Amino acid sequence: MIKILLALALFSTNIYAASCRSDDVIRQFKKNNPCPTDFIVEGKCNAYVDHICALVVGGIDSIPNLQWQEIKLSKIKDKIEKTEEGKRRFCNSKNSTLTRQVFNCN
């Protein structure tokens, strides 16, 4: 019984790890889309990489679902992006799925 529980724990951990957001996706986005304020691909930028369609409402963790966003504008989007209105406004068949696919992993 203990072996089965250990096997299930390891299996579920691997599934969870496979569904985390990818640092590689963000690095590739930055490489192809330098910081809009100073055109660097690494280091501090006055904007940050944001998912157009929030991951929590089904957004895909992929380059087509990423954008540079000014920090001050992010506060406005943050208020609505996790709501049904935000899902209608920011999500489409190219950048999202019907259900949440990606979870935060730390």
Question: Which of 51 and 12 is assigned the larger pLDDT?
Answer: 51
The domain segmentation of the chain, as residue ranges, is: 2-90
Distance set, CA 38 to CA 21, 22, 35, 50, 75 (Å) = 26, 24, 6, 18, 22
- Residue 75: pLDDT over 70: yes
Question: Which of 102 and 71 is assigned the larger pLDDT?
Answer: 71
- Check residue 103 and give its pLDDT: 58
- Check residue 91 and give its pLDDT: 95
Look up the pTM and report it.
Answer: 0.72
- With beta carbons less than 8 A apart as the criterion, state whether 53 and 96 touch: yes
Rounded CA-CA distance 106/98 in Å is: 25
50 beta partners:
67
Question: Which of 11 and 75 is assigned the larger pLDDT?
Answer: 75
- With beta carbons less than 8 A apart as the criterion, state whether 47 and 71 touch: yes
- Check residue 101 and give its pLDDT: 65
- Check residue 8 and give its pLDDT: 37
User: Which amino acid is located at 84 in the chain?
Assistant: E
Side-chain-facing half-sphere of 12: CA atoms under 13 Å: 6
